[in-house]
Amino acid sequence: MELRATAAIVTGGASGLGAASAAALTERGASVFALDLPASIESAAQIPGVRYIATDVTKPDDVRNAVIIASQSGVPLRTVINCAGIGPSMRIVGRKGVHDLDMYASVIAVNLIGTFNVLAVAAEAISATEADADGQRGVIINTASVAAYDGQIGQAAYASSKGGIVALTLPAARDLAQYGIRVCTIAPGIVETPMLATVSEEIRAGLAAGIPFPQRLGRPDEYSQLALAIIDHDYLNGEVIRMDGALRMAPR
């Protein structure tokens, strides 16, 4: 699918995987709208040419407003990359008692419901655009995690949310096929993102040592490279792609 002279939405676009995706889409000629929380946007190293919109993906009005802005930009909305997410950890039963239910609900709300909220509202807008010569109108790429398959101790909430995104992929692709909208998911392994910024070099080296090859942490630009490949490859649909260097997570 052609990106030049189209609009793209990237959630979590102020940092990490989202910022890398916003930069890559901009370089390919798309008009990019980066959605993130106000504090994240304020502290971000903003990318020239990217428009930042303060958005909480769990709030329908926020998302609808952002989609309206993107879809009324003068070029058709064609691409959505959902990167917004949180990753707190807690054991189901730990020293301080049972897993906090509000925390569990918050992770599901941001990672899974937020992803679905953006997917659904954006898909409605994309479906109203004129299709290209091949009947295509757009591509939606969601972000899961290897935790969806290999969730570790303390990752019950996170793994549940990412497993939901994996399970969403095929029915979403089937639902939206009639509108010429493809849906795929990337499931990254351990990637250099702000979530790892506070981790010591010793711990980072230990994480990298567990990856078969290449024996290092992934880079955000490798995520964006894969996202662009999905957009370019018109026959990729309804698929979840692991990007993890053949990593299979141990229990802890």
The structure tokens listed for 19 are: 């910022």
| Inter-CA distances, 210 with 150, 159, 197, 242, Å | 14, 19, 19, 16
Nearest to 240 by CA among 176, 144, 171, 160: 144
Nearest to 112 by CA among 87, 92, 89, 130: 87
CB neighbourhood size of 200 (10 A): 8
- The catalytically annotated residue of 52, 104, 158, 223 is 158
Q: Which residues contact 150 (CB under 8 A, 6 or more apart)?
A: 248, 249
Q: Which residues contact 33 (CB under 8 A, 6 or more apart)?
A: 7, 8, 9, 10, 13, 50, 51, 52, 53, 66, 69, 70, 73
Task: Examine the residue annotation and report whether 52 is marked as an active-site residue of this protein.
Answer: no
- Enter the DSSP assignment of 130: P
| Tally of residues, the chain | 252
Distance CA 30, CA 5 (A): 6
Q: Is the peptide bond before 214 cis (omega within 30 degrees of 0)?
A: yes
Q: Dihedral sign for Cα 109, 69, 195, 246, please.
A: positive
Q: Which residues contact 167 (CB under 8 A, 6 or more apart)?
A: none
Q: Would you please indicate which residues are annotated as catalytic (active-site) residues?
A: 158
